[in-house]
Amino acid sequence: MDCSAVPCVALTFDDGPGEHTSRLLDILAAHEVPATFYTVGRQVEKRPDVIRRMKAAGHQIGNHTYDHPQLTTVSADEVRSQIARTDALLRAQGVTPSTVRPPYGSYNTTVLQVLGSLGHGAVNWNVDPQDWQLRHTPTVVQRVTSAASPGAILLLHDVHPTSVDAVPEIIRTLKARGYHFVTVDQITGGVAPGTLVHRGVRP
Ligand code: NI
């Protein structure tokens, strides 16, 4: 997919894998849409089979820390531990994690330096429907589809069934507008270690 020639968006799902993630994988498969999952190590330990299924389906799998601390409030050693531990859990499932999403989108120079030392770039988002708070499917659909633009990275949380329920209509609506769904790595062209992107450019 050449995202400089056609409009692309990337669906991203944070905080899983959870109890609704397998159903989400069914939906993505039915629509032949790839996504990017920012997984939490503590959840990877509980559902390694779901990680293997993501990998087999060709989804991008990234690191969202071990247990979701705000990285700007912990020591550099703790940042390193949070990321390295989750990298190891993903690698144990045959996954090479690509990029980190810092919890709450929260980062500073120290956080980015530590991520860079572990070979990771960071990825936030362009469109945040606040689905975790809203938990109302039609409004999540409306917020995402009205805010989407070419190159946008869309933030959702696969731990909420109301968010998973929004995915089919988000896909149908944006495909009807000519959008192609791609992974974060496809939309950004890859993220250099120690840098942060929203949509392929540094903010
Ligand atoms: Ni999160």
**For each of the chain's 203 residues, which pLDDT tens digit applies?**
889 899 999 999 999 999 999 999 999 999 999 999 999 999 999 999 999 999 999 999 999 999 999 999 999 999 999 999 999 999 999 999 999 999 999 999 999 999 999 999 999 999 999 999 999 999 999 999 999 999 999 999 999 999 999 999 999 999 999 999 999 999 999 999 999 998 654 44
Which is it for strands 196-197 and 60-63: parallel, antiparallel or unpaired?
unpaired
Distance of CA 175 to the CA centre of its chain: 20
* DSSP 8-state assignment for residue 32: T
Distance 3 CA to ligand 1 centre (A): 27
pTM given for the model: 0.96
- CA–centroid distance, 103 to ligand 1, in Å, is 5
Token reading at 17: 């894998």
Cβ distance 131 to 162 under 8 Å? Answer: yes
Of the residues 59, 64, 120, 157, only one is catalytic, namely: 157
- The answer to whether residue 2 is catalytic is no
**Residue 14 annotated among the catalytic residues of the structure:** yes
Largest Cα separation within the chain, whole Å, is 47
d(CA 59, CA 129): 22
- Ligand 1: distance of its center to the CA of 5 in Å? 32
